[in-house]
Amino acid sequence: MNLGTIATAMITPFDERGAVDTAETARLARWLVDRGNDALIVAGSTGEGQTLNDSERYELVKAVKASVQNRATVIANAGLSATRESIESARRAQDAGADALLLVVPYYIKPTQTGMLRHFGAIADAVPLPQIVYNIPSRTVANMLPETLLQLAREHGNVAGVKESSGDLKQIATILRERDRGFRVWCGDDHLFLPCLALGADGLIGVASHLCSREFRQMYEAFTEGRVAEAAAIHASLLPLLDVLYRVTNPIPVKWAMNQMGFRAGVCRSPLDELPANLESALRPVIADFADPDMTAVLA
């Protein structure tokens, strides 16, 4: 299965009552695919997955799959802190129509490396879908080491790759050097996409790609076709956007931005709050560069 090259970890739109808006989620999914995404992550950390219940996650995956059909790979976040609950979450995602799973390293409890092997191995044995490990030590406070990850992949054929958000280029390079054929590595930090491509990474699972997926794809194509200077120029052009989008906790800025782009994204669920007013003035002119001609709200 083609698990995608440019993938967006989608926000989750909420309506005025704070309920999940599946219709708006489906509209956003179609728009993202139209702008060059060939995979979508549903109910991940950008999608406020830890604030969603089982039923909400199920309905989101079902809505996105029905919306995009086979135009993009639908990857459902199913990772929770406990193994048993993660297996149940993975099974529900499969029932909802997910093509693949994203499974974060268990957070807060700080598992050992052997604990990680048992955790991910149990999920891989229970659910046959392709599975992508999500390594983000800044949020989980536990780093899955390259040797652990690669052992897991060699023992379980459906462990298909990793979203690496450690920010450690040495660690990413080690995984790329030691991986077996077919194991894929996605950069999980927007600002490191080009450096990761230089190391041999296969793609991006991004947040800024809500706005600049076309530019990320152009950068990918330029680099892989040997037009390195062009790729570097695109990378540099995106830095102002990436800077503002990460000044406060994700997904607060990108959700605000998508509201300005004409989507009914709503506000983040508690305990996340709203975008500070001083960042609104910084973000508004930056995102205007990525608006389609008919998206006039951002320019108002």
E strand map for 54-207: 73-77, 100-104, 131-135, 159-164, 184-187, 203-206
Do 81 and 43 touch, CB atoms closer than 8 A?
no
Q: Of 58, 62, 65, 134, which is the active-site residue?
A: 134
Give start and end residues of each alpha helix (H) in 99-168: 113-126, 137-140, 146-155
Q: Is 255 a catalytic residue?
A: no
Angle between helices 113-126 and 83-96 (to 10 degrees): 30
Q: Is 100 exposed, middle or buried (0-12, 13-18, 19+ CB in 10 A)?
A: buried
Q: Of 62, 65, 163, 255, which is the active-site residue?
A: 163
SS3 221: helix
Q: In this structure, what DSSP letter does residue 52 have?
A: -
Q: Is 163 a catalytic residue?
A: yes
The set of catalytic residues is 134, 163
